[in-house]
Structure 1
Amino acid sequence: MTKRITAAVVAASLGFFALGAAPAKADDPYWQCVTFARMFSGINIFGDAWTWWNQAVDRLRTGHAPETGSVLVFRPEGRMSRGHVAVVSDILTDRVIRVTHANWGGSRGKVEENVTVVDVSRGGDWSQVKVWYNPIHDLGSTVYPTYGFIYKNARDAFDAGAEVGAAANGTTGTRRR
């Protein structure tokens, strides 16, 4: 419980440094979250955001801890019927990160940089998050379910590295998901 309160306090204090979105121009590009996340992260997955998790599980490393450059995959729910993807741009604490993403809430079709996201799950596994909502200058009230994080490096490369490391240490390699 203390970690959740600390995370909320950190997130609230970060809000004081948030900048407002620039006014839109007619010739500005309209970004979808998947197109932006694919280009920004280098993770070459296509399709609706909610499909990214199942596509990644067998060919990329996935998990429940943020890493800079990884993609946080939101589950579809309510008005977010196709899910959402956001690229981790900074890790502030074990329960607070910043993401850069596109087409979110009050910034339809726009890219938002370094948006605060707080893990509000009971187990600290990033399965439920709250996202900074700039129009109200606070964390939004909605709790969003997530699948987890997709990491840029391929599963095979990670597994090979784990096995080499295990062999060097005289232990058995383990496969993480």
Structure 2
Amino acid sequence: MNMLHLSVRQGSEKARIWQICDELLAKNGTPPSGREVADIYMAEGGNQGTGFTQYSHWKKEYLARQEKDMQRDLPSLSPGNITFRSMSVATDGSITLPADLRRAMLLDDDGRVTVSVIDGELRVISPMVAVRQLQRRTRDLVPAGTLVSDELIAERRKEAEAQ
């Protein structure tokens, strides 16, 4: 069993739900949905609410681990660290980016980018760099330790109660 969280007590309901999450992740290669996890847990006689609650805790830990791993794996890769160089545009308009440029752009294997032309200058940005820029811009908007998702849920509950 490859649990994300070391404090999970073996044999507990939490441990079983996290094990289900880990098994589905290993099987499918993507995080499971809460419904998948809750359905399996309920088929074993567990409570649906407990299944969803522990799934949400597992997913939060999973996403935090993913972010931590990404930060650890990509510390030396930062956008904009390659100086100008001469390149050619093929007659069909294509440009082949060398591997060092693709790495500096944090470009995934799928090659998706967003482009814009500003004052005649072609700007190309990868999704990873766009996310990092957005994170950097918004980092100071939320106090440390605050979960915006919890605030949103509280606001929605308050709105629902008012109706």
Normalising by structure 1, what TM-score?
Answer: 0.25
**Larger RCO: 1 or 2 (CA < 8 Å, sep 6+):** 1
**Which structure dedicates a bigger proportion of its chain to helix?**
2
Bigger share in strand: 1
| Rg larger for | 2
